Structure 1
């Protein structure tokens, strides 16, 4: 089994930039850095503009921006419980339905209308993203099984 993935550091990105400027192939860069070829290829594809060289500082900035956006996106799911769809989900949780059952019910009720559907993973995330307080406690207690 391979080792756990970790984000590229600015030092690794600088090394990639230097090696790419010397026309070193991604497979050789991966070998020198002790990284997977796919990690290096993905890094070069994500962080290089067409016709422009790979620049470590720009790549680091883009990676930081993506990571921040992903974290902020997860945090914004908590208010989902205040929408009409969220109120429906809360009601179903209070009736002791599991997030999987609620997601299945929404799928049957709304078919192709994705705006009226939510996955069970999103329901779990929304429960745990609710700030401390009565609603959070109520939603956690409403789950059928304690984790």
Structure 2
């Protein structure tokens, strides 16, 4: 941690704390709860996560194709014993060219040292590769143009494959696009591009559903699985489905659809989307429904229906 001008600027966290932060972040915990679990201030956690775009850095791994420290020790011993590169390679189960290149790039037979060669390989492996969207200007321009049209990374990835079926160079995964938007190390799109994504978040959130800590839980809910078969099969009129449709905040409307006839009512919500306001608006919309045509109302678990028990929708 570095301190500048009396303000703590987080450049990193201890390895043990990082593990706790990433585990809790992956479980969907809030920043405050992550900070409590990690034992650090919440603003330190936020700055650390922002630094990595909300994406945990990949742990360094040695590819099986690369020589291990033990294999390099065997090469060193083989050189000391006067063995040829081919003989050393046979003992390792590697190709002779692999051993020959390993010796040549590390000073030759007279200068080869296993520990020095392994450290050199480790440093070279840490060199960052140029991201796809940074090296291909054409691909970058196409992706950026679609993002400016408010397309999602998934839509862009699918569209590129459809538009360029014979140009694999114009294909890119949605994950690559997300990384270009969020990861500082590979960010090669304008910094404000995240505002074009539907979430509008400054850092990427895990795909897990955020845990509920008791707040916003709807009381007296009736599971959709308890609905009679006549409702599920749309055999009996009078059963409605509702949903909340958000526009540009604070604009919103509620929709009410009768399941059998597919009759639709649009319910304005001029007073907002708080539970009390939504329940009053929905009740008013259903008040003039003909008798026998208002038997049940199905809604999702949105907090706007916290007062669902107040909305009386019974056969009249």
Conserved in 2, the CA contact under 8 Å of 1:77 and 1:125?
no
Distance 2:61 2:141 in 1: 38
**2:157 aligns to what?**
103
Whether 1:88 and 2:147 are equivalent positions in the alignment is no
Distance 1:131 1:108 in 2: 24
1:11-22 pair list within 5 angstroms: 13=69, 17=73, 21=77
CA 1:87–1:131 in 2, change beyond 3 Å: closer, same or farther? closer
Distance 2:143 2:120 in 1: 38
**2:191 aligns to what?**
136
Larger radius of gyration, structure 1 or 2?
2
* Structure 1 residue runs without a partner (length 5+): 23-40
* Structure 2 residue runs without a partner (length 5+): 1-58, 63-67, 79-91, 104-111, 205-316
- If each structure's strand is expressed as a fraction of its own residues, which one has the higher value? 2
TM-score, structure 2 normalization: 0.28
Residue number among 61, 64, 68 corresponding to 2:120 in the alignment: 61
Name which structure has the greater RCO, CA cutoff 8 Å, separation 6+.
1
Residue number among 95, 115, 135 corresponding to 2:169 in the alignment: 115
Aligned-residue Cα RMSD (Å) equals 3.9
Give the number of aligned pairs.
110
Deviation at 1:125, TM superposition (A): 2.2
CA 1:21–1:80 in 2, change beyond 3 Å: closer, same or farther? closer
Distance 1:13 1:108 in 2: 46
Distance 2:143 2:60 in 1: 35
**1:49 aligns to what?**
99
Distance 1:131 1:92 in 2: 15
TM-score, structure 1 normalization: 0.54
Conserved in 2, the CA contact under 8 Å of 1:13 and 1:60?
no
